[in-house]
Amino acid sequence: MTKNLKPATIAAHAAGALDPQSGGVVPALQPSTTFMRDENYDLVRPDNIYSRDNSDNLRQAEAVLQRLEGAADTLLFPSGMAAIAAVFRTLPNGATAVVQSGIYWGTTAWIRDFTTRRDITLVEVDVSELAAACETHKPALVFVETPSNPWLKTVDIRALADATDATLVVDATAATPILMQPLALGADIVMHSATKGINGHSDVLAGVLSTGNADAKIWDDIRADRKGAGAILGPFEAWLLTRAMRTLPLRVERMTQNAQALAEHLMAHPKVADVFYPGLPHHPGHDVAKRQMTGGFGGLLSVLVKGSKEDALRVVGSLKLFLRATSLGGVESLVEHRHTIEPHTGIPENLIRVSVGIEDIGDLIADWEQALE
C-alpha cells in the first residue's frame, strides 16, 4: 500500500519520518556536526560521519521530495541558486548550454557570468526556439523554467525531451511537485527553489535537485560536488522544510484556486491590459500547461495594468493585503513591481508580479479593486 500513496498522504506523513528514540510522531532535530565512534573506532552509525554529507534531517526532507517527484534520488542544497550552480559546474570547458530566455533574472545573470568564466558557449533562446536551438547547437545541457518567472511562459517538456539528447534540466519552482512532474515528462533533472512554494512560509532558504537516473554520470558529479564544496542545507532548515511539506498539497490547492479566480477577475477589469497566467484560455501556453500540469496552474501570475510605470507603482503602493516584497510561493500574498528590480531586462514598466497566497479570495479581490480605483 505504501508504494501507491497519493501526494497528500505522502506529505502529511512526511514520507514516514518519525522519531524512533522518543516514539514521537514528529522527527527530532539533530544539530550535531560530527558523530561518535566506539572504542574500536568503528562508527556508531555507519551512515553518519560528518554533517557535510550526513544528516538525518536532510535525508528525511529529501525522502519526502523524492516520493513527491517520483524520483530515483533527491539532493537538497542551501538555496535554489546553489542547486543550479551544482548542475552547471558539471559542464567541461568548451561545452555548449542552451538556456531559455526570460526566466528568473538571478538564474540568467549567474549562468551568463559562469559560462563566460568557464569558456562555455551559452545560447539563450525563447521558448518557441528551444527545439531548433538544440538541433543546431547540439548542447550538452538544456535548462528551462516552466511556468517561467515573471513571464509565465510554458515549455512543452515532453516535446523538448524528444528533440534533444542533452541533459534536460527543468526549473519547476512555480509549479511545485504537486502540480507537475517533469521527470515523468522526460526531463533528466528537476530543480526547485524550495524557498518558495515547497516550504511556503518565507522562513527557509533551500534548493533541491531530483533525478530519474541516480546512476547517471552527471548525478554522480553533482553529488560529489555538493559534498566537496560543502553546499549542504543545515539540519534546522531541513527540519523546517519537512514540517512545511506536510501541508504542501493543501497550500498549493488553495493558492492555485485563488490565483485562477484572481486572474480571471483582473482579466475582466477595465484598468488591466493583460494578465499572464497559464490558467487563462488566451495564454499562449495554456494548452501545454493544461496537458502537463495537474490540479491547476500555480500561484504565480503577472498583471499588466493600463498606463505607465507611475500607474503601476500607484497600484502596488495602494494594495493592503498583498505585501510588497520579493519572492513567491508563501502563504501570504506578495506583490512586486519588477521593473524597479530589474529595469535592464526589458520588463514592461507596467508589469506587476503577483504571488497569490492562501487568504480568503474575496478579501484578495477586494484589495485589488480598491487599489485599481
Catalytic residues: 52, 104, 171, 196
CA dihedral defined by 212, 216, 218, 219, rounded to 10 degrees?
A: 60
What single DSSP character describes residue 27?
A: P
CA–CA separation, 188 vs 190, rounded Å? 7
Say if CB 120 and CB 95 are below 8 A apart.
Answer: yes
Q: Which residues of 39-75 are buried (b: 16+ CB within 10 A; e: fewer)?
A: eeeeeeeeebeebebbbbbbbbbbbbbbbbbebebbb
Residue 281: Cβ within 10 Å count? 9
| CA distance readout (Å), 251 to 77, 198, 204, 295, 301 | 23, 9, 16, 12, 16
State the alpha helices, DSSP H only, in the chain. 7-12, 56-69, 80-88, 105-117, 130-137, 157-163, 176-179, 217-229, 235-245, 248-267, 286-292, 309-318, 338-341, 361-371
Q: 346 is written with which cell numbers?
A: 526589458
**HSE (CB half, 13 Å, CA atoms) of 3?**
0
